[in-house]
Chains A and B, each alone.
Chain A
Amino acid sequence: MSAAPSPAPHSVLLDPEKCVGCTTCIKKCPTEAIRVRKGRASIQPERCIDCGECIRTCPHGAKRAVSDPLSMIEAYRIKVAVPAPALYSQYDEGRSVDRVLSGLLQLGFDEVFEVAEAAEIVTRATRELLASSGEAQDLPRPLISSACPAVVKLVQLRFPSLIPHLARLIPPMEVAARIVKERLHPGESGVGVFFITPCAGKVTVTRAPLGYERSAIDGVIGLRDIYLPLRSAIASAPERSLARAGRRGLEWARVDGECDAMGERRSISVDGIGNVIGVLEALENGKLRDLSYIEALACPAGCVGGPLTVENPYIAKTRLRNREDSAPPEAAGPRRYEPAIDLNWTAAVKPRAALALDPDMLRALVMMEEIELRAEGLPGLDCGSCGAPSCRALAEDIARGTAIESDCVFKLRDRVRELAKELMALEEIRPPGLDREAGR
């Protein structure tokens, strides 16, 4: 298997001033990608799936996403905002989608194109995929949604046997950007497309796409960063009729939304990276084969709970639902984007072998034996003081040569104690020439 080593970019940055070197993020990371070294958390990029759990859970706000500043849009002649529908869930319903979008124009954008409208197109494409015979296309059922980049990366890293199940369709944000560039402004120069993102994972895929070569997105602005300026802009912007997306597109921003939009009942909708792992485990164990579709989202409640959002995920979800209720089912009088954008993947998504101990299996076996032995000798408290998330992970790091046994505070204490005993024993011995009490 062993996939060619590829650079594994991710979009989580550490603020070394804020990081206190605690153990919160190392424990929460679902791929055990973080270690504390020299008092600071450090991410192993080849293991990071960009789920943003560390950003979400860091009690000191020391993790943030690499995203672009709003000032970046100035470099373009035509500035187009492409907001994720999760954006709407961050503001109360008193601020209509029209007002939120008008606020974006007030901030300096020339046009807006809703990702939710593109999500309607992806909904139709996914429905067609589901209607076609799975075997004929080498698409085993159930299909796993590929809309959440963290889930796609999780599959690559921890469930490579499930790669064939991934729906080979480009995500809504990319569809939106391509419509802007290739259909609304074909051949024009100076068009800048800016995605407004609820998560770090979507920042990374614009730089290192999954399933396609190059992204049409020019910049990514974190929802967290634009939240306050947009809030004031909404208050002062003249309201314009800009909202087009219907309910089906809006639904994609929350858990159950994809399945609701498709009307797919033989499906599972799962949110939260831990729950996603549970469902994928079951699928890999041969269960769930009677399902058609798995909508798996790394964040609690879906994209509305993304690590770059500001509102509580469940409050945001309810707000989104209220907006869905007042929207038409689909974008009114659908604009035609002819010819239709090709949604199919054009690049292979390959397994990521970052968890393997050694490319040579025999050497890996020897290391595995060492790990088992070492793990038995460690206290098993998983305290994290060594900087690894568990005693087992430390045992693995020792075998990989990136840690030593005395990194464990209990092991260190044992050694200090032994040394102290030895010292005491040595102290008892007195040179015979000086010791008058000794009977020698």
Chain B
Amino acid sequence: MDDGDFSLAGRASSELKRVLGRLGIGPETVRRAAIAMYEAEINMVIHAGGGVAEAEIGKDSVVITLSDAGPGIPDIPLAMTEGWSTAPDRFRELGFGAGMGLPNMRRNCDEFDIESEVGKGTCVRMIIYL
């Protein structure tokens, strides 16, 4: 995903859902993975203008990794707070930027890991157990 093209946001989540469905993975797990991926890809488009979304599916887990070369997050604990948002107005007008993205991502996965460096980019890794 790149160029902040919002029309493509949601693709990674749809694709992941399709693959998980083909693997016969249970509805609840599919739902959690879909939400985690969706929130993450939306975040990446809004704040970093795009990046790379990957999902690795093994027999025990789904590992979702999103990495971008965006502005980075100066204060991760603050960013993880429900309701905290730095989304620009043009995205808020679309109904995004309620400050629930990162908290929702953490809530819908079993392991959550975020690394960020200001000026370099952010990498989010989420693991959902099967």
Contacts and interface: CB of A to CB of B under 8 A. Distances in A.
Interface of A: 1-2, 158, 160-161, 163, 281-282, 284-286, 351, 353, 355-359, 361-362, 364-365, 368, 371, 396
19 contacts: A1-B25, A1-B26, A1-B27, A2-B24, A158-B21, A160-B30, A281-B10, A281-B13, A281-B17, A285-B38, A355-B22, A356-B21, A356-B24, A357-B24, A358-B24, A364-B22, A365-B59, A368-B23, A368-B57
A285 B14 CA distance: 9
Given A284-B31, A285-B10, A286-B104, A364 B38 contact: no
Contacts of A163: 27
Contacts of B26: 1
B27 A160 contact: yes
Nearest to A163: B27
The residue in B27, B38, B58 that gathers the most chain A C-beta atoms within 10 A of its C-beta is: B27
Contacts of B57: 365, 368
Contacts, number: 67
A364 B31 contact: no
A334 to B, nearest CB: 40
Interface of B: 10, 13-14, 17, 19, 21-28, 30-31, 34-35, 38-39, 57-59, 104, 108, 130
Given A285-B34, A286-B35, A365-B57, A353 B104 contact: no
B24 A1 contact: yes
A356 B22 contact: yes
Nearest to A357: B22
The residue in B26, B31, B58 that gathers the most chain A C-beta atoms within 10 A of its C-beta is: B31
A355 B28 CA distance: 16
Nearest to A1: B26
A359 B28 contact: no
A161 to B, nearest CB: 4
Contacts of B59: 361-362, 365
A285 B21 contact: no
Those 3 A-B pairs whose CB atoms lie nearest each other, nearest first = A356-B24, A161-B27, A161-B31
Nearest to A285: B38
Contacts of B30: 160-161, 284
B27 A361 contact: no
Nearest to B39: A286
Contact of B23 (A161, A351, A356): A356
Contacts of B28: 161
